[in-house]
Structures are given as structure tokens and as C-alpha cells.
């Protein structure tokens, strides 16, 4: 995205939220990824609530 013209770059806050959501994708989709324990052992309620909030927000930027 660094090569995009300025008028097409997404807001920095949106990129940061997307990066956080990316970190949750593989470990929660593939439960055997962690060396031991279940995925729920690695996440807190705050992690889940933040991910849901990030996933639901800023959709108007994507619709433009």
C-alpha cells in the first residue's frame, strides 16, 4: 500500500485495525496451530470484543 497514490491510501487507523484482525485469522481458524491447549486458552474476552469492534467499524471507507 505504500506505493498507492496518497488519494487512494486508506487511513492509517484502518490499516492498524486490519493488521490486528490478520493476527487472529490463522490461529483461530486452525486450532492445532498452537503447540498445546485450545485457541480459547490464548485469547481473552477483551481480544474478542476488540476484534468484533474492528471488524464492524469503518466500513464506510471500504464503500467509497
Give dist(CA 44, CA 2) in Å, integer: 32
Structural domains of the chain, count: 1
Per the confidence metrics, is the pTM higher than 0.75? Answer: no
Q: What are 21-60's pLDDT values in tens digits? A: 998 888 878 878 888 887 788 888 999 889 888 888 655 5
Q: What are 6-26's pLDDT values in tens digits? A: 888 888 888 898 898 998 888
CATH number at 18 reads 1.20.120.330
HSE-up of 2 (CA within 13 Å, CB side)?
0
**Between residues 58 and 1, which one has the greater pLDDT?**
1
Give dist(CA 42, CA 45) in Å, integer: 10
Within-domain flag for 64: no
Within-domain flag for 1: no
Q: What is the domain extent for residue 48?
A: 6-59
Within-domain flag for 10: yes
Within-domain flag for 25: yes
Confidence of residue 63 (pLDDT cuts 50, 70, 90): low
Give dist(CA 18, CA 8) in Å, integer: 16
Within-domain flag for 21: yes
Within-domain flag for 26: yes
Amino acid at each position: 500500500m505504500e506505493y498507492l497514490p496518497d488519494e487512494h491510501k486508506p487511513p492509517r487507523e484502518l490499516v492498524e485495525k486490519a493488521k490486528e484482525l490478520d493476527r487472529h485469522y490463522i490461529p483461530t481458524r486452525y486450532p492445532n496451530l498452537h503447540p498445546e491447549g485450545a485457541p480459547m486458552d490464548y485469547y481473552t474476552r477483551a481480544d474478542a470484543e476488540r476484534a468484533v469492534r474492528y471488524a464492524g467499524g469503518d466500513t464506510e471507507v471500504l464503500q467509497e
